Amino acid sequence: MSKVKSISISNFTTDSGVFHESIQLQYQHFGQALDQAPVVLINHSLTGDANVTGPQGWWNEIVGANRTIDTQNFAILAFNIPGNGVNNDTLENYEDFHTGDIAELFYAGLQNLGVQKLFALIGGSIGGGIAWEMAALFPTLTENLIPVAADWKASDWILANTYLQKRLLENSSEPLKDARIHAMLTYRTPASFTERFGRTVNHEKNLFNVESWLLHHGDKLNSRFLLQAYKTVNHLLASIDITRKGVSFEDIIKKIASNIHLIAVDSDLFFTPEEDKKTYEIVKKIKENIYYHEIRSIHGHDAFLIENDRVSQILKDIFKPQSNFFKSNENQS
């Protein structure tokens, strides 16, 4: 089982100009040695962490021995988003940071570990947004860029929802619980709720089962997550924007060497598939190696965590054993 390790990133200045003498970047490493196999970086989602595989891994049906992202063939890294609360790690002045800063920190972490090139950079939700940020800042870093249920910017819809989340986190008497209940309504769909609950009643609690389920998720997050951490990642989610410096999306794309695999969920009410389709239409006029994939599911945004067979079907051709990976890298250097 992989243990959480830590890297100290020294003399880091945020894009807003705030200097930090040292920032601790936590990570986990699974599978092969970093210098012996193609390296895959997996970025976690809002309330996730770097524990991507193993008994408690949030993507353990996708990542692991004989899984689609096979730990027998790949070296797998995952960083904790700084301030996400793991091991009580928080950012006091989290509004000094945006997702571009997190991308810079993740890149610094890779450099510290001696990783110059990734085979794949993949992330779900905010993790996919950070993957976009990394590709925009370091356009030759990865052979494959794979944002899942994600986008390169926070849309107006994302901004609206994170604004409501912020108000709940600041004003509710049970901030984590209420914010989580609201969030679950954006992560799932009406059809998903109807299929699961069908207006059934929990007579013991005198609640509809959908209400009991929402309270359970609120209580569960409240018991394991820090309020400061939720405020941090919610702020970061709203900050996603690879064009924040005034460079057009098209000009950024021209520099990204990676194959780009957009993976959307057809029923996603949060990072909607329409945004990915717009991105695909823009990018395919600029570069040929962009691909649009769609997870078909009634479960909405969370389908990338639920529909493991469908996700695996999309990823299997990308994550074939890469016997020529290092040889091709040597030819490029």
**Residue-wise pLDDT tens digits, 291-304:** 999 999 999 999 99
Q: Please check whether residues 314 and 176 belong to one and the same domain.
A: no
pLDDT in tens, 91-128: 999 999 999 999 999 999 999 999 999 999 999 999 99
Distances (CA, A) of 161 to 156, 183, 193, 234: 9, 8, 20, 10
The answer to whether 268 touches 296, Cβ cutoff 8 Å, is no
On whether residue 333 sits in a domain, the answer given is: no
Cα separation of 65 and 138, whole Å? Answer: 30
Average pLDDT over residues 214-232: 98
Alpha helix (H) residue ranges in 240-302: 249-255, 273-283
The verdict on 162 and 145 lying in the same domain is: no
Residue 220 lies in a domain: yes
Global pTM reads: 0.96
**pLDDT at residue 323 in the model:** 57
Q: Please identify, among 237, 263, 282, the residue that sits at the C-terminal boundary of a domain.
A: 237
pLDDT at 236 over 50: yes
pLDDT at position 321, please?
81
Q: What was the pLDDT predicted at 331?
A: 44
Query: CA dihedral defined by 134, 137, 140, 146, rounded to 10 degrees?
Result: 30
How many domains does the chain divide into? Answer: 2
Tell me the C-alpha distance between 152 and 280, whole Å: 12
CA–CA dist 195, 217 (Å, integer) = 18
Residue 63 in tokens:
């990542």
SS3 121: strand
Share of the chain above pLDDT 90, in %: 95
Q: How does pLDDT run across 154-200, given as a tens digit for each residue?
A: 999 999 999 999 999 999 999 999 999 999 999 999 999 999 999 99
Residue 311: partners with Cβ closer than 8 Å, 6 or more residues away: 62, 68, 148, 263, 295, 304
Quick one: pLDDT at residue 1?
61
- Mean local confidence (pLDDT), 200-214: 98
Whether residue 332 lies inside any domain: the answer is: no
Q: Is residue 242 part of a domain?
A: no
Question: Do 57 and 85 belong to one domain?
Answer: yes
Phi-psi region of 240 (alpha: psi -120 to 50; beta: other; left: phi over 0): beta
- The token pair at 107 is 């890149």
DSSP, res 125:
T
Does residue 164 sit in the same domain as residue 94? Answer: no
Q: For residue 61, is it within any domain?
A: yes
User: Would residue 179 count as lying in a domain?
Assistant: yes
Is residue 258 in some structural domain? Answer: yes
Q: Are residues 137 and 194 in the same domain?
A: no
Determine the pLDDT at residue 330: 47
Are 40 and 120 contacting, i.e. CB atoms less than 8 angstroms apart? yes
pLDDT reported for residue 333: 40
Residues 121 and 26 in one domain: yes
Least Cα distance to 107 among 49, 154, 39 occurs for 39
CATH number of the domain at 194, please: 1.10.1740.110
pLDDT tens column, 35-49:
999 999 999 999 999
The arithmetic mean of pLDDT across residues 80-100, rounded, is 96
Question: At 82, which CATH number?
Answer: 3.40.50.1820
40 & 136 share domain = yes
How far lies 297's CA from each of 63, 269, 271, 310, in Å? 21, 12, 14, 9
Give yes or no for residue 13 having a pLDDT over 60: yes
Same domain, 84 and 128: yes
Q: What is the distance between the alpha carbons of residues 62 and 59, in angstroms, rounded to a whole number?
A: 5
For residue 122, give the nearest of 312, 331, 324 by alpha carbon. Answer: 312
Residues 25 and 41 in one domain: yes
Q: Are 150 and 288 found together in one domain?
A: yes
Q: Same domain for 205 and 183? A: yes
3-state secondary structure of 141: coil
Together in a domain, 34 and 181: no
293: burial class by Cβ within 10 Å (0-12, 13-18, 19+)?
Answer: middle
Q: How far is CA 29 from CA 41, 50, 74, 98, 333, in A?
A: 9, 9, 11, 25, 25
- The verdict on residue 90 lying in a domain is yes
Q: Where are the alpha helices (DSSP H) in 226-302?
A: 227-239, 249-255, 273-283
Boundary (domain end) residue, out of 181, 209, 237: 237
Q: Which of 145-149, 243-247, 321-325 shows the lowest mean pLDDT across its residues?
A: 321-325
**For residue 146, which of 2, 16, 264 has the smallest C-alpha distance?**
264
pLDDT band at 2 (very low <50, low <70, confident <90, very high): confident
Q: What is the pLDDT of residues 249-263, one digit of tens each?
A: 999 999 999 999 999
Indicate the average pLDDT of the chain: 96
Q: Which of 237, 261, 284 is the last residue of a domain?
A: 237
Instruction: With beta carbons less than 8 A apart as the criterion, state whether 20 and 14 touch.
Output: yes
Q: Distance (Å, rounded) from C-alpha 129 to C-alpha 52?
A: 17
Cβ partners under 8 Å of residue 229, min gap 6: 83, 84, 85, 90
Closest by alpha carbon to 45, among 156, 122, 97, 113? 122
Residue 64 belongs to domain spanning: 5-154+247-327
Tens digits of per-residue pLDDT, 284-333?
A: 999 999 999 999 999 999 999 999 999 999 999 999 887 555 444 444 44
